[in-house]
């Protein structure tokens, strides 16, 4: 249900935000996006659905599948993983794993995430799926399940391939899913360096040094992809995720990401409009064991609004009438329309918060007569 709420929010509120908020900064990237993780709303974007080479941002999806395997206990952190010749010889950035040297899943995860090791990524892919090819198929299927509509993966590392692509929007949603679904593993992304095989390598995410509120997520670079960065910052209760793709240097991708994050925190607020289980209305219900029913949301209804606009939000409730029992908890019976200064923010499904069974035969008959006269 939360996914439904976020879908309505993202689709319908962006136009109103554009009219109410200051213009976003100019960003020197081929495509970019700023996401409020709490509400799921896109605060600003440019070419967010343009397919692009993700480079090592690919490892976000690789990590998601490894985290899922750990959660399902098909992998264990201390499990020793054999290093294949393919993993050992994989080019690009490396953790420097070796075929004759034992390495654990935990070490490989740190190598893949902090050091961006392609060899570690392949070893983990083989540990999860038996081969990198099968793992890549799993990556694409998982992307579809998560609602990433413009992503396709052919490898676990991000090495260039015509059929290997994603978008700024999909990467933002993927980063949000990692933070939401695997908070116990997300902390790896905040490590500034990692040592394996007596070789210490720094995290390439410069924002970990520039802004103490940034706690991840991942960098990427190839000659054709340019310099890319997915970054996340948590200031107080709010978390924003920025994506920049196709910048000209490490310094530019860091500065443009910071520019986006500062814009979002400075000019927007995240507001809980209705809390989970809080009745929006109490409505008359007919032919039921009780005469009224509470309607509202099964998850917090959270909005990102330009600063100073929260007090101006106006709500309009539309309920399907007459409402007849029996009704189950969670059934949609209406919609809530929100607007600021007559500019629509979105429409959100209103749900029954408590099941109402049917009344006995006398109660149903009596209500049928009353409805007939009405």
Judge if 52 and 184 occupy the same domain. Answer: yes
Residue 10, pLDDT > 50, answer no
Can you give the residue range of the structural domain that contains 224? 2-270
Judge if 227 and 286 occupy the same domain. Answer: no
Residue 7, pLDDT > 50, answer no
Domain ends where: 236, 252, 270?
270
Residue 18 is predicted with a pLDDT of 54
Handedness of CA 143, 305, 215, 224 (dihedral sign): positive
Residue 8, pLDDT > 90, answer no
- Banded pLDDT at 12 (limits 50, 70, 90): very low
Read off the pLDDT of each residue in 217-221 and give the average, rounded to a whole number: 97
**Residue 306, domain CATH:** 2.60.410.10
**Packing angle of the helix pair 118-129, 132-145 (nearest 10 deg):** 80
Judge if 256 and 298 occupy the same domain. Answer: no
Residue 64, pLDDT > 90, answer yes
Read off the pLDDT of each residue in 4-24 and give the average, rounded to a whole number: 54
CB contact burial 341-366 (16+ within 10 A = b; e otherwise): eeeebbbbbbbbbbebeebeeebbee
Separation between Cα atoms, residue 35 and residue 365, nearest integer Å: 52
Judge if 240 and 102 occupy the same domain. Answer: yes
- Banded pLDDT at 177 (limits 50, 70, 90): very high
Give me 1's structure tokens.
Answer: 């249900």
Residue 206, pLDDT > 50, answer yes
Judge if 180 and 237 occupy the same domain. Answer: yes
CB contact burial 141-173 (16+ within 10 A = b; e otherwise): ebbeebebebbbbbbbbbbeeeebbbbbbbbbb
Judge if 245 and 105 occupy the same domain. Answer: yes
Residue 1 is predicted with a pLDDT of 36
Query: Among 2-6, 27-31, 43-47, which is the least confidently predicted range?
Result: 2-6
Number of H helices, E strands in the chain: 11, 16
Domain ends where: 226, 245, 270?
270
Judge if 95 and 244 occupy the same domain. Answer: yes
Judge if 73 and 185 occupy the same domain. Answer: yes
Judge if 66 and 17 occupy the same domain. Answer: yes
Residue 219, pLDDT > 90, answer yes
Domain ends where: 270, 303, 325?
270
- Banded pLDDT at 340 (limits 50, 70, 90): confident
Query: Among 83-87, 99-103, 153-157, 179-183, which is the least confidently predicted range?
Result: 99-103
Judge if 143 and 230 occupy the same domain. Answer: yes
Number of domains in the chain: 2
Chain Cα centroid distance, residue 295 = 27
Read off the pLDDT of each residue in 126-135 and give the average, rounded to a whole number: 97
274 SS3 class: strand
45 SS3 class: strand
Other beta carbons less than 10 A from residue 201's beta carbon: 18
By the 10 Å C-beta count (0-12 exposed, 13-18 middle, 19+ buried), 104 is classed as middle
Query: Among 14-23, 50-59, 146-155, 338-347, which is the least confidently predicted range?
Result: 14-23
Taking the CA atoms of residue 96, residue 100, residue 102 and residue 103 in that order, the dihedral angle to the nearest 10 degrees is 30
By the 10 Å C-beta count (0-12 exposed, 13-18 middle, 19+ buried), 207 is classed as buried
- The more confident residue out of 288 and 204 is 204
Residue 4 is predicted with a pLDDT of 35
Residue with tokens 């000659």: 223
Judge if 363 and 281 occupy the same domain. Answer: yes
Judge if 349 and 222 occupy the same domain. Answer: no
- Banded pLDDT at 367 (limits 50, 70, 90): low
357 SS3 class: coil
**Which residues are the active-site residues?**
56, 59, 116
**Residue 218, domain CATH:** 3.40.710.10
Q: What proportions of the chain, in percent to the nearest 5, are helix, strand and coil?
A: 35, 30, 35
Q: What is the pLDDT of residues 291-320, one digit of tens each?
A: 999 999 999 888 888 988 888 888 899 988
Separation between Cα atoms, residue 337 and residue 17, nearest integer Å: 16
Separation between Cα atoms, residue 151 and residue 146, nearest integer Å: 11
């Amino acid at each position: 249900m939360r996914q439904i709420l976020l879908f309505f929010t993202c689709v319908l509120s962006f136009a109103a935000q554009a009219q109410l908020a200051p213009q976003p900064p100019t960003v020197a990237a081929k495509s970019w996006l700023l996401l409020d993780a709490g509400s799921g709303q896109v605060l600003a974007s440019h070419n967010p659905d343009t397919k692009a080479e993700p480079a090592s941002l690919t490892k976000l999806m690789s990590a998601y599948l490894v985290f899922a395997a750990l959660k399902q206990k098909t992998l264990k952190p201390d499990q020793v993983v054999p290093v294949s010749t393919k993993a050992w010889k994989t080019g690009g950035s490396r953790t420097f794993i070796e075929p004759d040297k034992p390495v654990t899943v935990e070490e490989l995860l740190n190598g893949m995430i902090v050091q961006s090791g392609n060899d570690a990524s392949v070893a983990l892919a083989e540990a999860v799926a038996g081969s990198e090819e099968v793992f890549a198929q799993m990556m694409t299927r998982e992307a579809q399940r998560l609602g990433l509509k413009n992503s396709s993966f052919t490898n676990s590392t991000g090495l260039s391939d015509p059929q290997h692509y994603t978008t700024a929007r999909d990467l933002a949603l993927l980063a949000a899913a990692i933070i939401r679904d695997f908070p116990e593993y997300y902390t790896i992304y905040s490590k500034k360096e990692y040592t394996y095989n007596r070789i210490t390598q720094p995290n390439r995410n410069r924002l970990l040094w520039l802004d103490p509120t940034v706690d991840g997520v991942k960098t990427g670079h190839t000659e054709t992809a340019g310099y890319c960065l997915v970054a996340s910052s948590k200031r107080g209760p709010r978390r924003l995720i920025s994506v920049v793709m196709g910048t000209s240097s490490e310094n530019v991708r860091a500065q443009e990401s910071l520019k986006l994050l500062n814009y979002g925190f400075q000019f927007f607020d995240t507001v809980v409009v209705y809390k989970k289980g809080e009745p929006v209305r109490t409505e008359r219900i007919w032919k039921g064991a009780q005469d009224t029913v509470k309607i509202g949301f099964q998850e917090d209804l959270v909005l990102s609004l330009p600063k100073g606009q929260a007090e101006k939000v106006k709500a309009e409730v539309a309920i399907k009438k007459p409402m007849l029992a029996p009704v189950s908890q969670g059934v949609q019976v209406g919609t809530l329309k929100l607007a600021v200064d007559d500019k629509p923010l979105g429409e959100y499904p209103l749900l029954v918060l408590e099941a109402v069974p049917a009344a006995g035969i006398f109660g149903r008959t009596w209500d049928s007569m009353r409805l007939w006269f009405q």
